[in-house]
């Protein structure tokens, strides 16, 4: 059962890496809904001025890198949880 946990965790890790890479490639040049919503607000209320600024201003490359970092942390943690939960259940079953 422990080996099975490793296998499933590796599948999650590999699948997650593929999805992260594919999302970075395929979303290039597309308009995000967050930006579309912002534009709709500006269209509806041209006089509205945002009263706060983002903490950081990233270049597109920095933003892309940080999204990849976020996804990598997520997929690594998820793979670890898959392994631990399967291993735990395997131990329970063997007792």
Q: What is the contact surface with other proteins in residues (CB under 8 A)?
A: 8, 11-12, 15-16, 19-20, 23-24, 26-27, 29-34, 36-38, 40-41, 44-45, 48, 50-58, 63, 66-68, 70-71, 73-78, 80-82, 84-86, 88-89
**DSSP assignment, residue 49?**
-
- State in angstroms the smallest separation of the CB of 95 from other proteins: 15
Cα separations in angstroms, 86 against 16, 73, 89:
18, 20, 5
- State in angstroms the smallest separation of the CB of 20 from other proteins: 7
């Amino acid at each position: 059962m422990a080996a099975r946990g490793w296998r499933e965790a590796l599948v999650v890790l590999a699948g997650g890496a593929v999805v992260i890479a594919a999302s970075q490639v395929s979303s290039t040049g597309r308009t995000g809904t967050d930006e579309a919503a912002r534009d709709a607000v500006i269209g509806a209320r041209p006089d509205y001025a945002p009263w706060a600024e983002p903490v950081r201003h990233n270049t597109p490359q920095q933003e892309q890198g940080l999204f990849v970092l976020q996804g990598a942390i997520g997929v690594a943690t998820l793979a670890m949880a898959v392994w631990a939960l399967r291993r735990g259940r395997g131990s329970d079953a063997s007792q």
